[in-house]
Amino acid sequence: MTLLTVAIPSKGRLMEQANELFERAGLKVERYGTDRGYRGRLVGIDDIEVAFLSASEIASQLRDGKIDAGITGEDLLRETIAPGNDVADVALRLNFGPADVVVAVPACWLDVAVMADLDDVAEQFYVLHGRRLRVATKYLNITRRFFAEKGITGYRIVESLGATEGAPATGTAEIIVDITTSGATLKANQLRILDDGLILKSCAVFVVNKYSAQLENMCNLLNMLGRAIVT
Amino acid sequence: MAGKTSLHRAALERQNAAIMAVFERAGFDQIQPDIIQPADIFLERSGEDIRARTFVFNDPAGNELCLRPDLTVPACRYHLSHTKKPEAETKYCYLGPAFRFPDELLSPQEFTQAGLEWFGDKADIAAEARVIKLAVSALEAAGLTGLKVSLGDLGLFNALLEDMPMPERWRRRLRHQFWRPQAFRNLLDTFAKPARNQRSSISKNIDALEDHDAVAETSRLLADEKLNLVTLRSVEDIASRLAEKLADRSEQPLAETMVVAIESYLKISGPLTDMTSGLKAISKTPRFLGAIAKFEQRIAALEDQGLNPRRFHFSADFGRELEYYTGLVFQIEVEARNAPLSVAGGGRYDSLLQDLGAVTSIPAVGCAIHTDRLLAVML
């Protein structure tokens, strides 16, 4: 049998929940060497190697075909792999790690309810202040696709590598595209999600490289994990 | 492939020399705008769709620069920095590299663009016909046969809207969305429905403005909800849009006949010289008839240039995707292996120079040829 590499998030809540999933499936994830190792195996299944990577690295390694499968967030997957590029696709939705990718504006913008308003505001802003609206986000591609779909062009993306929700208050951007679970962080920062500003209802996904999807040990693994998903 | 062979380079140079000879013989001064441009001017002007395809980088001082994705804006900047009287009639041509992240077949990330820009033209329609003629002549001088010219005319669309009774802000928004078919359709639907039936999460804010001073009431709403004012948008900016929305509620929805007229107009397409009766069937209102007359004059002007407009194609919705144009838009295609391939395009863009810093609006019409693509289809 072919040796498969399956990547699991190496830290945080996503790692814990991935481990719980494997446990429910009756699979023990074991790290080689010390507890800090980056490789491991599934006890009881031969020919599957486990790689411990960050969730964003898992998405890019899937895109580059470097691993056979992996658990990552759907948000990171959609950001990393363009639609139409079918190198890897979602095999299982794992129903944990829920996160909505949303467009949020300052709550003080009492005149803005929907994306179409944003287009109008962008034009007003350009006329009055001589520049484009800035969108702070780490999701450059998701943002571009969604805004294009909604027919909005008068904006600029400012790449944000953390604390995106603070951008409007600190003046580095006017609006944001970010993930939220309860909306509490957005609210605390006086931001409001647009009525039609839900871009993606993301959760953790098990993604398989299309060349590995038919392999026997991959099918077995998918069956075991599929039965262990809590619905 | 990493670079061009000597043979390929020589063929491209030969072709482009023939193109530039046509432009220069016609009295266009060959200039060389900068390759490296301030990023802001492109990105503020074009929006994120072009930004996504533009090579942007920082200089050591942190300024954002870019490799030019197109030569029209650099030619405009050249013009504004080299002349004291930017409104005086000036004719430029250029040949040089442009850079874009590739997005389609035969669209390499560095390519050579040849083109011309005619600023401050007094001739209007005749100048437009002349530019089309020069583009066609240049392509023929390069050895191309069987080219197909397609035209659109934003003047017709604008005149159609001008004649329809609706608030000016609706017209402005329809013009703004002309380029985006889906958003345009949604907007038209919104205007055709009675506004008071449309509720959203901000409807209560609009309700609150009724019979009150917009700015005072907006300030009160912000204070009541303890909302801090962030970003450059002032209470006045927010209040003025809320007031517009309140005003929209008492506007008559756009009449069904007008929605139909706009939709039927956008569906018009066919041979350029067969369009007049179809256009007149859409509307016989004064400005639109004026625009049709201008449209017919353009056909005559094309004939004066020795072109055969009977073989040109007109499409009312043509020009979507090309945001800075203000009147005529055109594109020249050739039959390639799978589908027609665009090798040149251009049109009128009367507001661009002012946007880039000129004091008044200056007429401008121009065209550009994608020389690498041209060579590829002829090989």
Domain encompassing residue B224? 168-249
Is the four-CA dihedral B317, B112, B358, A172 of positive or negative sign?
positive
Same domain, A168 and A81: no
A139 has a pLDDT exceeding 80: yes
B298: Cβ–Cβ under 8 A, 6 or more apart, which residues? B125, B128, B129, B153, B328
pLDDT at B107: 65
Same domain, B148 and B173: no
| Model confidence band, residue A1 (pLDDT cutoffs 50, 70, 90) | low
Q: What are phi and psi of A57, to 5 degrees?
A: -65, -35
Same domain, A185 and A123: yes
| Residue B255 within a domain | no
Chain B residue whose CA is closest to A191: B227
Chain B residue whose CA is closest to A115: B183
Same domain, A8 and A55: yes
Same domain, B98 and B117: yes
Same domain, B23 and B150: yes
Chain B residue whose CA is closest to A156: B48
Same domain, B240 and B295: no
Hey, is the C-beta of B11 within 8 angstroms of any chain A C-beta? no
Hey, is the C-beta of B5 within 8 angstroms of any chain A C-beta? no
Chain B residues within an 8 Å CB radius of A107: 225, 227
Inspect the interface and report whether the beta carbons of B184 and A151 lie closer than 8 Å: yes
pLDDT at B190: 85
Number of other CB atoms surrounding residue B378 within 10 Å: 15
Domain count, chain B: 2
- The Cα–Cα gap between B202 and B63 comes to 39
Bridge-based pairing state of the strands B328-335 and A99-106 = unpaired
Same domain, A94 and A110: no
* Ramachandran area for residue B143 (φ above 0: left; ψ -120 to 50: alpha; else beta): left
Chain A residues within an 8 Å CB radius of B202: 110-113
Same domain, B301 and B327: yes
In the stretch 134-173 of chain B, residues with CB closer than 8 A to chain A read 173
Nearest beta carbon to residue A144 from set B48, B218, B230: B48
Same domain, A25 and A66: yes
Same domain, B179 and B149: no
Inspect the interface and report whether the beta carbons of A156 and B44 lie closer than 8 Å: yes
Nearest beta carbon to residue B245 from set A111, A154, A157: A111
| Residue B60 within a domain | no
Inspect the interface and report whether the beta carbons of B52 and A109 lie closer than 8 Å: no
Q: Where a domain ends, among B194, B222, B249?
A: B249
Same domain, B173 and B207: yes
Q: Which residue has the tokens 């949604």?
A: B186
Q: Are A206 and A69 in contact (CB under 8 A)?
A: yes
Mutate to test the interface with A, among B101, B172, B202 (most CBs of A within 10 A): B202
| Residue B61 within a domain | no
Same domain, A166 and A119: yes
Same domain, A88 and A154: no
Helix or strand (DSSP H, E) at B248:
helix B235-249
Instruction: Output the CA–CA distances (angstroms, integers) from residue A7 to A3, A38, A83, A230, B124, in the order listed.
Output: 13, 10, 22, 20, 64
Q: Where a domain ends, among B221, B249, B277?
A: B249
Same domain, A147 and A34: no
pLDDT at B176: 81
Same domain, A54 and A84: yes
- The Cα–Cα gap between B253 and A108 comes to 29
| Residue B293 within a domain | yes
- The Cα–Cα gap between B365 and B324 comes to 11
Instruction: Give the count of alpha carbons within 13 A of A205, CB side only.
Output: 21
Same domain, B233 and B308: no
Same domain, B119 and B191: no
Domain count, chain A: 2
Helix runs in A44-198, H state only: 55-63, 74-80, 115-129, 140-149, 167-170, 184-188
A219: Cβ–Cβ under 8 A, 6 or more apart, which residues? none
Same domain, B121 and B15: yes
| Model confidence band, residue A123 (pLDDT cutoffs 50, 70, 90) | confident
- Residue B94 pairs in a beta bridge with B115
Chain A residues within an 8 Å CB radius of B229: 108
Inspect the interface and report whether the beta carbons of A151 and B222 lie closer than 8 Å: no
* Angle at alpha carbon of residue B351, lines to A130 and B163, rounded to 5°: 110
Hey, is the C-beta of B237 within 8 angstroms of any chain A C-beta? yes
Q: Where a domain ends, among B249, B273, B298?
A: B249
pLDDT at B337: 75
| Residue B254 within a domain | no
Nearest beta carbon to residue A190 from set B48, B52, B228: B228
Inspect the interface and report whether the beta carbons of B183 and A169 lie closer than 8 Å: no
Q: What is the pTM of this model?
A: 0.79
Hey, is the C-beta of B195 within 8 angstroms of any chain A C-beta? no
- The Cα–Cα gap between B203 and A112 comes to 10
Same domain, A196 and A146: yes
We report the CATH number of the domain holding residue A117 as 3.40.190.10
pLDDT at B54: 87
- Over residues A57-64, mean pLDDT: 94
- The Cα–Cα gap between B92 and B114 comes to 11
pLDDT at A62: 94
Mean pLDDT by 10 residues, chain B (379 residues): 90 97 98 93 69 85 89 95 95 96 71 96 92 97 93 93 91 84 86 80 93 95 95 95 90 91 95 94 94 95 95 86 80 85 93 90 96 90
Same domain, A143 and A215: no
| Residue B312 within a domain | yes
- The Cα–Cα gap between A44 and B291 comes to 78
Q: Are B332 and B136 in contact (CB under 8 A)?
A: yes
ipTM above 0.85, yes or no: yes
Could you read off the pLDDT of B217-235 as tens digits, one per residue? Answer: 999 999 999 999 999 999 9
List the end-to-end C-alpha distance of chain A, in Å, as a whole number: 32
Hey, is the C-beta of B352 within 8 angstroms of any chain A C-beta? no
Chain A residues within an 8 Å CB radius of B190: 116
Chain A residue whose CA is closest to B199: A113
We report the CATH number of the domain holding residue B309 as 3.30.930.10
Chain A residue whose CA is closest to B50: A153
Same domain, B148 and B198: no
Among residues A192, A189, A193, A184, which one has the least CA distance to residue A170? Answer: A189
Could you read off the pLDDT of A170-215 as tens digits, one per residue? Answer: 999 999 999 999 999 999 999 999 999 999 999 999 999 998 888 8
Domain encompassing residue A219? 4-98+203-228
pLDDT at B169: 84
Helix (H, G, I), strand (E, B) or coil at A51: strand
| Model confidence band, residue A154 (pLDDT cutoffs 50, 70, 90) | confident
Same domain, A72 and A130: no
Same domain, B311 and B331: yes
- Residue B142 pairs in a beta bridge with none
